[in-house]
């Protein structure tokens, strides 16, 4: 298979959705100029299938409800088979999302920066995880992509939110400052530290032609739901046939098309017919992300276009916050007969609290785990964790 040319797509966003977001930003409505930062919350709070806020900009409202013209390569039969498979394994899918799909994004500084710039990811790790689960559930809900309805509207919503983030990252710092002079001075430090454009410039200082949430970044995120999900099911003991692999990747390629990814980066499309390209896209981008200077790993290959090591600190902080959430979730899944022992013996509780780190390390693989500074567990915790995994069925972790 010929190597994919990714670099040109790092300079491309989503022209259709970006044009709508830009029109609102430059328009004269309450969401123009400084008011644009508030439109993300308006779109984010809208639940597809429900009435919209009357303040929704008309061009955005029309975009959110606009029907899709599905591409000629869309195989709805394959989509329905993939959705049926996921419906039987949705709890396992949630494990993959929480312990692999989301954590692997933390080594991608540009994606982290774009998400952190919304002010949501660090403060609301649990809601972000829940939003990701909802998106996947909507995409994989049987029949959701067949025609107009909530499923299509969810795809439109995600696509528009990405466009809003791109515009937000390009807005000058004064756009986020309050009009009141005193409040402006009080907010100056936090604005300089957290302003989206400042964060984005830091993350892309060596890549001035890249745009936020560009096509390559979106393609990588898509493959964390597609190829990485397929590869991770095997780690959870869920067998997939070769045809089920193809169906699953084809289904997510259709989702990718609907959220604005170009066909050139969608395995199974007319432009990229081989669904095996899903692995090539994911592993190719991941390989570049892992090529970071590390004084303890001098043999690791270096990527001259890759991020500075210091920029990974945000991702490591986010990983720590996610582990706190996963600990809370997992402790609720301790079988009832063992809860008294965990409560009585603190060393056992410590071991249980280390279990999410053990699972994430196992799901991500050693190179990615090392980059996120997910160290190996103490021997006692590893032994207890290994035994615990025999008692806690990860494929049913969130059924309660």
Chain Cα centroid distance, residue 92: 17
291-301 pLDDT, tens digit per residue, is 765 655 555 55
Q: What is the pTM of this model?
A: 0.85
Question: What separation in angstroms does the CA of 156 have from each of 11, 43, 47, 133?
Answer: 22, 10, 12, 17
Return the higher-pLDDT residue of 260 and 380: 260
Give me the pLDDT at residue 117, please.
53
Say what percent of the chain tops pLDDT 90: 44
Residue 98 has pLDDT above 60, yes or no: yes
Mean pLDDT, all residues of the chain: 81
- Whole-angstrom Cα distance, residue 78 to residue 84? 10
318-329 pLDDT, tens digit per residue, is 888 889 888 888
Return the higher-pLDDT residue of 215 and 31: 215
- Whole-angstrom Cα distance, residue 252 to residue 100? 17
Return the higher-pLDDT residue of 17 and 30: 17
Give me the pLDDT at residue 333, please.
73
Residue 269 has pLDDT above 60, yes or no: yes
8 Å CB contact between 261 and 222: yes
8 Å CB contact between 97 and 140: no
Residue 131's Cβ-count burial label (10 Å; 0-12, 13-18, 19+) is middle
The pLDDT-based confidence of 140 (bands split at 50, 70, 90) is very high
Give me the pLDDT at residue 314, please.
78
63-67's contacts with Cβ under 8 Å and 24+ in sequence apart are: 63/17, 63/20, 63/156, 63/160, 64/153, 64/156, 64/157, 64/160, 65/153, 65/156, 66/156, 67/148, 67/152
Give me the pLDDT at residue 24, please.
93
141-156 pLDDT, tens digit per residue, is 999 999 999 999 999 9
Residue 400 has pLDDT above 50, yes or no: no
Return all residues near 58 (Cβ < 8 A) that are at least 6 apart: none
- Whole-angstrom Cα distance, residue 266 to residue 269? 6
Q: Which value, in Å, is the radius of gyration of the alpha carbons in the chain?
A: 22
For tokens 């991702």, the residue is 315
- Whole-angstrom Cα distance, residue 319 to residue 373? 9
Give the Cα-Cα-Cα angle 391, 396, 397 (nearest 5 degrees): 75
- Whole-angstrom Cα distance, residue 193 to residue 201? 12
Helices (H), the chain: 15-26, 39-45, 58-65, 76-88, 90-96, 102-104, 109-116, 125-140, 150-170, 181-194, 196-203, 215-225, 227-235, 242-258, 277-290, 313-331, 336-344, 346-364, 366-371, 379-391
Say what percent of the chain tops pLDDT 70: 76
For tokens 């986010």, the residue is 318
- Diameter of the chain measured on Cα atoms: 63
124-135: average pLDDT: 76
Give me the pLDDT at residue 302, please.
55
Return the higher-pLDDT residue of 109 and 302: 109
Residue 346 has pLDDT above 70, yes or no: yes
Give me the pLDDT at residue 64, please.
97
Query: Which range has the top average pLDDT, 25-34, 35-44, 74-83?
Result: 74-83
362-395 pLDDT, tens digit per residue, is 899 999 998 898 888 777 666 766 666 655 555 4
CA atoms within 13 A on the CB side of 222: 34
159-215 pLDDT, tens digit per residue, is 999 999 888 877 765 555 555 544 444 444 344 444 445 555 555 555 656 788 899
Give me the pLDDT at residue 230, please.
95
Report DSSP state, residue 333. T
Return the higher-pLDDT residue of 363 and 350: 363
76-97: average pLDDT: 94
Give me the pLDDT at residue 182, please.
45
Residue 346's Cβ-count burial label (10 Å; 0-12, 13-18, 19+) is exposed
């Amino acid at each position: 298979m010929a190597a994919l040319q990714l670099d040109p797509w790092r300079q491309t966003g989503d022209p259709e959705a970006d044009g709508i977001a830009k029109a609102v930003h430059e328009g004269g409505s309450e969401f123009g100029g400084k008011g644009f930062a508030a439109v993300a919350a308006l779109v984010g709070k809208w639940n597809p299938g429900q009435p919209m806020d009357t303040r929704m900009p008309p061009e955005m409202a029309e975009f959110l409800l606009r029907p899709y013209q599905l591409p000629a390569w869309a195989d709805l039969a394959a989509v329905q088979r993939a959705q049926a498979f996921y419906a039987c394994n949705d709890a396992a899918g949630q494990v993959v999302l929480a312990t692999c799909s989301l954590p692997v994004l933390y080594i991608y500084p540009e994606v982290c920066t774009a998400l952190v710039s919304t002010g949501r990811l660090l403060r609301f790790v649990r809601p972000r995880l829940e939003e990701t689960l909802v998106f996947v559930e909507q995409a994989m809900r049987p029949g959701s992509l067949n025609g107009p309805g909530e499923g299509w509207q969810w795809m439109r919503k995600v696509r528009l939110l990405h466009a809003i983030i791109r515009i937000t990252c390009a807005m000058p710092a004064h756009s986020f400052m309050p009009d009141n002079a005193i409040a402006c001075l009080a907010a100056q430090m936090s604005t300089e530290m957290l302003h989206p454009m400042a964060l984005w410039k830091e993350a892309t200082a060596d890549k001035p032609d890249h745009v936020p949430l560009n096509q390559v970044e979106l393609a990588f995120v898509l493959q964390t739901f597609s190829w990485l999900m397929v590869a991770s099911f095997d780690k959870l003991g869920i067998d997939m046939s070769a045809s089920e692999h193809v169906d699953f990747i084809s289904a997510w390629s259709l989702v990718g098309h609907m959220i604005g990814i170009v066909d050139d980066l969608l395995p199974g499309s007319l432009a990229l017919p081989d669904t095996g390209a899903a692995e090539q896209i994911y592993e190719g981008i991941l390989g570049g992300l892992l090529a970071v200077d590390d004084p303890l790993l001098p043999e690791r290959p270096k990527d001259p276009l890759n991020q500075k090591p210091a920029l990974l600190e945000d991702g490591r902080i986010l990983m720590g916050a996610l582990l706190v959430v996963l600990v809370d979730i997992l402790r609720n899944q301790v079988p009832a007969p063992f809860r008294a022992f965990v409560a009585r013996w603190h060393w056992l509780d410590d071991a249980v609290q280390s279990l999410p780190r053990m699972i994430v390390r196992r799901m991500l693989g050693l190179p990615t785990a090392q980059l996120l500074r997910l160290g190996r567990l103490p021997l006692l915790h590893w032994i207890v964790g290994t035994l615990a995994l025999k008692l806690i069925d990860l494929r049913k972790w969130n059924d309660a």
